[in-house]
Amino acid sequence: MQFGIFSVGDVTTDPTTGRTPDDTERVRAMLTIARHADEAGLDVFATGEHHNPPFVPSSPTTMLGYLAGVTKQITLSTATTLITTNDPVRLAEEYAMLQVISDGRMDLMMGRGNTGPVYPWFGQDIRQGLPLAVENYALLRRLWTEEVVDWSGKFRTPLQGFTSTPRPLDGVPPFVWHGSIRTPEIAEQAAFYGDGFLHNAIFWPMEHTAQMVNFYRRRYEHHGHGAADQAIVGLGGQVFMRKDSQKAWDEFRPYFDNAPVYGHGPSMEDFTRETPLTVGSPQQVIDRYGAFWEQVGHYQRQLFLMDHAGLPLKTVLEQIDLLAEEVVPVLRREAEARRPAHVPAGPPTHAERVAAARAAGQVHTQQVGAADHWTGRTAEDDLAAADAVTR
């Protein structure tokens, strides 16, 4: 099982000092955090994609490309790649380039984002969010798996004889996650293609997370990619730790109470009770997160939000050390001990995907609008079916 951290890249005033970092300082802090996570032995660093203040990570591939050169083993990922407002041609090029630069030490997570105005900023209509996600991702897959693409659709100009460069490393595209917190159609899209599904439940109760994950698992099995418990699942969460639990509560409370993302709302007591936010000792984090498998089954990736709400960089680095030294080793052992033998321990690595493609004698391709080779259905067909199932 993989354990790592993700950052939304917020620029937030430290409520205990009144100091606000500028954008440059915040970007450089994210780079330091990623390098520290690599040195601490964590498995994943993921950055969000935002195009509005108070967030700074507007160019994930720039950041991750730099990190590919200065880290050694950590998987570099996105916590969101905006499939709806980015041109799929540009996504194909940028992430294939990142794949080559990182020697396959990367993946990415498709999402629609949480900022409505981003749609008109990039010339799109938010009311078309789901159709955009379906069409853009179908085209992206073709650009990665076909040397020459002829294509026409609803949301961009046609392509004639187009070849995306560079080609994916070893002829195998990056592994893709689809992230959604409330939309079953996105879980259906992940299941249709046999991709991963990540539910970033930082604002939601685990009961809701379990519903979304279990729906994805059922649809993954329906589409013939394997048993439901073999589906590739990730969860998001957030923690704040100190050796002494009360010190953790006292230190984190002003950050929680003033954070733009959830401050001035439910109390910290209510929020920690209703969502995966865990404030306390490392053992309390182990107990809380070690029980999530009972609701969602064995899952392959757990990401933690640790650098938000104005927390000082020094504090964030201390949190990473506590996570890497005291929490992850225990959770990793527990996860492996309970994992059924037929269930993947983690998401597939690039080497594993290359080996599977070679064993099959080809790189898997999927035509836009073409039938799935297992079921004879298309992604568009199954979005309608998923909508009917959840009503």
The predicted model gives 127-156 an average pLDDT of: 94
- Residue 257, CB-side half-sphere exposure with 13 Å CA sphere: 9
Q: How confident is the model at residue 43 (pLDDT cuts 50, 70, 90)?
A: very high
Q: How far is CA 73 from CA 45, 68, 206, 317, in A?
A: 11, 9, 31, 18
pLDDT at 126: 83
> CATH classification of 2-390 is 1.10.357.20, yes or no?
no
| 259-302 pLDDT, tens digit each | 877 767 889 999 999 999 999 999 999 999 999 999 999 999 99
pLDDT at 373: 41
The predicted model gives 85-108 an average pLDDT of: 97
pLDDT at 202: 80
pLDDT at 97: 98
The predicted model gives 320-347 an average pLDDT of: 97
Q: What is the dihedral of CA 179, 180, 181, 186, to 10 degrees?
A: -140
Closest CA to 68 of 169, 172, 151, 218: 169
pLDDT at 108: 96
Q: How far is CA 383 from CA 90, 218, 363, 378, in A?
A: 25, 14, 25, 9
Q: What value does the mean pLDDT of the chain take?
A: 91
Q: How confident is the model at residue 374 (pLDDT cuts 50, 70, 90)?
A: very low
Closest CA to 306 of 34, 28, 19, 15: 34
Distance linking the first and last C-alpha atoms of the chain: 33
pLDDT at 387: 54
Q: How confident is the model at residue 162 (pLDDT cuts 50, 70, 90)?
A: very high
Instruction: Give ∠ CA 37-40-44 in degrees, rounded to 5.
Output: 40
Q: How confident is the model at residue 204 (pLDDT cuts 50, 70, 90)?
A: confident
